[in-house]
Structure 1
C-alpha cells in the first residue's frame, strides 16, 4: 500500500509588485486508489501535479511518499526517487519517437540499471498486459493514439511505482479508447497504488474513488459527493 501525503503545501509566484497564489496551503493524504483532480483551466491543477512530482518547489509545505520528504532531497536525489517510486502518463503520450514500443517500455528500466534480459522480459509482459504484445516492434508513428497511450501506461508501470500521476490521459482519445485506458489505470489502483488523475471530464472523474476540486488555487476534498 502506497502513502502520498502533503502538509501545508502551497505555491506562490512573484508578479510585478505583488504575488500570485497558484496553490493555497492545504494538507491531504492521498489514499490508495484513484483520486481525480478536477477544476477549470488555470485553477491550479497543473501546479499541484508539478509539486507532487517534485518538478516544482513548494513555497511552503512537504510532499511525503512512504515516509520520504520529496523536497528535502537534492535535485539528483529527487530524480532517482521519481524513477523508483513514480510513474507518469501525460495527455500527449511523450514516447521517444526513435524507439519501438518495447524499447520505450524498457527505457525506465534501463535508467534503473535492470539487466538486459530481465528488463526485456518485464517490458514484454507489460505490453501483453495492456494488450499490445503484437505491436512491440512498432514505432510510435505506427501506433494509433490509443495504442501509444497504452504503451505510455506500460512504461509508467515499468519500475512498479507506488504513485502514478496522470495528466489528462484520455484528453486526446475518443470515448471508447479513453475507457480502455481508464480500465488499465484502475488495475494498479486496485493493487494498492495511489493514482492521481487530472481530468476535465466529469464522466472520468465519476469513476474515481476520491475527488479533489481546485478553484483559484484552493483545493477542496470531496467524498461520496459531499464536500468536506
Structure 2
C-alpha cells in the first residue's frame, strides 16, 4: 500500500498531507501524539473514511479498532463473530464487515484461529459483552485473520490495556508480520515500540 499526499479535512482540523509506503510483510509504525490524526489515517487505510484529497494505492487493509468492545456485538459469541466474518468475506461482503482479527488466514479452523490470536478455545462460546479489554483486542485480531485480508491496520491496539496485555499484543504483532502479514501499528507508546522493534519502519504524523 502507498499513501500519496493524503489529506483528511474536517473543516476545523486537517490531517496531512501524509506520504507513506507500507511494505508487504513488515510492520509500519504510524506514530504521533494524541490528536495527530492516527485514527483518521487508519480509517482511510481500511475504507471507513474517504480522504479529502490524495491517493491510496494498493489493496485496503482490515481494521483492528482502538476501542474493540465498541466494535463487537455484545449479543454475539466469539465464535459467531468469527463465522460471520468468514461468511461476509466468502460472499464478497461489504468492507464495513472487515473489522478486527489478525494472523494466519481464513483457512484456519476456529480453535487454531483463536490460538493464533493468543486466545483459549473455551472463549469461543463466551459472549462478546463478557470480554475484558485485552480479550476483545485479541478477538478483533482473530476476526481480522478470519477475513483473509493480508494487511492488518491496528489503531492503538494497546490503548487502555495494562502493561502485560499490551506486551502480548505487541509481540503478537511481530509474530503476524513474521508469518507474512503486512501490519500498520498506530501508537504513541514509543517505549513499547522500542521494546519490541525488530526492524520496523516509521511514519510520523
TM-score, normalised relative to structure 2:
0.79
* Residue number among 86, 94, 109 corresponding to 1:109 in the alignment: 86
Structure 1 residue runs of 5 or longer lacking an equivalent are: 67-81, 215-228
Inter-partner Cα distance in structure 2 for 1:47 and 1:150: 22
User: Is 1:99 the counterpart of 2:90 in the alignment?
Assistant: no
Quick one: which of 110, 114, 117 aligns to 1:123?
A: 110
- Comparing both structures, which one devotes a greater share of its residues to strand? 1
SS in 2 for 1:58: coil
Q: Aligned residue for 1:135? A: 123
User: How far apart, in 2, do the equivalents of 1:29 and 1:192 lie?
Assistant: 17
Contact 1:38 1:211 in 2 (8 A): yes
Which consecutive aligned stretches of 4+ in structure 1 deviate over 6 angstroms post-superposition?
Answer: none
Instruction: Specify the structure having the higher radius of gyration (Cα).
Output: 1
For structure 2, the residue ranges without an aligned partner over 5 or more in a row are: 92-105
Deviations 1:27-67 (A, max 9, x none): 3211231111111122222222222122222232211125x
Alignment RMSD (CA, Å): 2.2
TM-aligned CA distance change 1:177 to 1:58, over 3 Å: same
1:187-221 CA-partner distances (Å, limit 9, x unpaired) = 2211222211111211233234111111xxxxxxx
Contact kept, 8 Å, 1:38 with 1:205, in 2: the verdict is no
Pick one of 2, 7, 12 that aligns with 1:5: 2
| Residue aligned with 2:11, SS | strand
* 2:22 alignment partner in structure 1: 30
Q: Secondary structure at the match of 1:103?
A: helix
TM-score, length basis structure 1: 0.72
Paired with 1:132 and 1:190, the residues of 2 have a C-alpha distance of: 22
Q: 1:143 to 1:45 in 2, by over 3 A?
A: closer
Distance (Å, rounded) in 1 between the aligned partners of 2:9 and 2:50: 10
Shift in alpha-carbon separation, 1:46–1:102, aligned structure 2, 3 A: same
